[in-house]
Amino acid sequence: MKQSEFLKTVMPFKDKVFRVAKRLLVSTEEAEDATQELYFKLWKNKSKLKDYKSVEAFAMTMTKNYCFDRLKSKQASNLKLVHSNYQEKDTPLQRRVELNDSVSLVHKLINNLPEQQKLIIQLRDIEEYEFDEIAEQLNMQPTAVRVTLSRARKTIREQLTKQHNYGIS
């Protein structure tokens, strides 16, 4: 595989790889390192890429595994999972504060989910992958992905409701 063919194959999903790495590793620098490491590994194994049905799914799986390895390493003891890309304009100040509080609360609730649920929420609700793609990347059945996503959303919904109804009898 020549360089131009390699770039044509792997560059379309570079941003997705970065976003998943950023979601898992938090730090922009760590995510950039993870993305660079992934592309280095893909380049080293470029001759084998044609054997994969979906190079993108393979790359996303590699990204997930690399990030989990980083999070498990002693170096990464200060890394945590967050996501914040919410921004709205032309909203009254009080409403913006309320929305920011709600978004922050959702981030905290997502952080309290088990790792698999966090990742599935990231891939489905933020990256907008299909259930089959997520199942392939995580080596799960599509039904299990749906169930896990449903449980994660239900947990978040219950916690949000509990938080918003606090003190109301």
Task: Please tell us whether the domain made up of 93-164 is placed in CATH 1.10.10.10.
Answer: yes
The residue extents of the domains of the chain are: 3-76, 93-164
Query: Domain spanning 3-76: which CATH class is it, in words?
Result: mainly alpha
The residues, ordered by sequence, that sit 6+ positions from 152 with a Cβ below 8 Å of its Cβ are 110, 113, 117, 118, 120, 121
- 116-168: per-residue pLDDT in tens? 999 999 888 888 888 999 999 899 999 999 999 999 999 988 888 887 776 56
Instruction: Give the span between the Cα atoms of 87 and 51, in whole angstroms.
Output: 41
